[in-house]
Amino acid sequence: MKFITSVLTNIGGRNKNDDYAGYIYRDNSYGAWIVADGLGGHVNGEVASKIAVETALNSFQLNKSLSKTNIDSVINHANLDIINYQINCKETNGMRTTIVSLFTDSKEVVWAHVGDSRLYFFNNGVIKFQTRDHSVSQMAVSSGEIPEDQIRFHEDRNKLIRVLGSSPELKVDILKNSVQIKPGDAFLLCTDGFWELIYETEMEIDLCKANSPEEWIKFMTERLIKRAFGQHDNFTAIAVFVQ
């Protein structure tokens, strides 16, 4: 099984990009894809997201097990690194970040996330799974207050109830059982700046048009630009095709 990756990050209409993304991949062996969104309201959001991605990638490289305990320690390691940085450098005390990650041993995958950055899993061209945000809006959906498709327009969608950098104790949302993958499967990891402007149906439409993950992101970005026209937030997306 081969994984093909494309990454796009854009500053949007802001003066700095708080998003960070990275991946490691070795053919027929292992891979990890991570996207983090440093919180704009907090100082040094871009530092937090960078630490989160780099620490998590490094710590997965040391132990490539897909077990729940290992994935939990990978993300927690990233959280602790951010907290340590805050201790050493007091003015970064307020920095926070979200994280969404995908890990594979080239046969199976697991994913984990904290915050409102999302992972979508596409099987046969249709969204089979998507992560649930740790936000006030998502809670409103869970309690039946608003329908799922209203999150995009809900005022509390960016009020997060779980983030990296706020406390050494971190509850990570990890996929319970790893998933077997097949050629044709696809993944999309993205920050809120991306999914807020692209509907899930459009992700599916553009996926069945795309020859490569690069083309897939290009089609979706075209929609994003048309919709936001220079006013959009930072956005970052990683697209992965399984072949």
Partner 1 sequence: MGLKKRIFFIVFLIVITLFPNLAYAKDLGNDLITNKINEEEITSKPSAGKPYVVDCVFFFESKGNDIKSIKYRTFLSASQKSDKKTSNTIISALTNKIRKLLIILVVISLLIITICLIAIRKNMIISKRINRNMKKNTIKIRGSFNNSIKLTYANIQNIGMREEQQDSFAISNINDKKLFNEKGVFAIVADGMGGLDNGKESSSIVVESMMSYFNEKLFVSPIPIELRNMIINSNNELLDYLSRGGNIKSGSTSIAVIIKGSQLFWISVGDSRIYLYRRGKVFTLNRDHVYGTELNEKAFRGQISFEEALNHPDRKALTSYMGIQKMTEIDQNIKPFKLNQGDKIILCSDGIYGSLDEKEIEEAMKLDTQNAAIELQNSILKKNIKYQDNLTAVVIGIS
Does position 221 interact with partner 1 (CB under 8 A)? The reply is yes
Q: Are 113 and 99 in contact (CB under 8 A)?
A: yes
* C-beta of 176 vs 226, nearer to partner 1: 226
Q: Which H or E element spans position 58?
A: helix 45-62
Does position 219 interact with partner 1 (CB under 8 A)? The reply is yes
CA distance 91 to 52: 18
Q: Are 133 and 115 in contact (CB under 8 A)?
A: yes
Alpha helical stretches, state H, 63-167: 68-88, 136-142
For the CB of residue 125, give the shortest distance to partner 1 in the complex, in Å. Answer: 6
Name the one range near partner 1 by CB under 8 A: 65-73, 97-105, 118-126, 136-144.
Answer: 118-126
* C-beta of 11 vs 139, nearer to partner 1: 11
Does position 125 interact with partner 1 (CB under 8 A)? The reply is yes
Of 109, 116, 107, which Cα lies nearest the Cα of 35? 116
| Candidate residues 9, 10, 131, 191; the one interacting with partner 1 per rule CB under 8 A | 10
For the CB of residue 231, give the shortest distance to partner 1 in the complex, in Å. Answer: 9
* Length of the chain as a residue count: 243
Site size with partner 1, rule: CB under 8 A: 23
Binding mask 128-167 for partner 1 (x = CB under 8 A): ---------------------x------------------
Helices 213-228, 200-207: inter-axial angle, 10-degree rounding: 140
Residue type, 198: I
Does position 222 interact with partner 1 (CB under 8 A)? The reply is yes
* C-beta of 119 vs 224, nearer to partner 1: 224
Does position 226 interact with partner 1 (CB under 8 A)? The reply is yes
Binding mask 171-210 for partner 1 (x = CB under 8 A): -------------x--------------x-xx-xx-xxxx
For the CB of residue 186, give the shortest distance to partner 1 in the complex, in Å. Answer: 10
| Rounded-to-10 torsion of CA 13, 190, 39, 228 | 20
Q: Which H or E element spans position 50?
A: helix 45-62
Annotate 59-72 with b (16+ C-beta within 10 A) or e (fewer).
bbeeebebebebbe
Interface ranges with partner 1 (CB under 8 A) = 10, 124-126, 149, 184, 199, 201-202, 204-205, 207-211, 219, 221-222, 225-226, 229-230
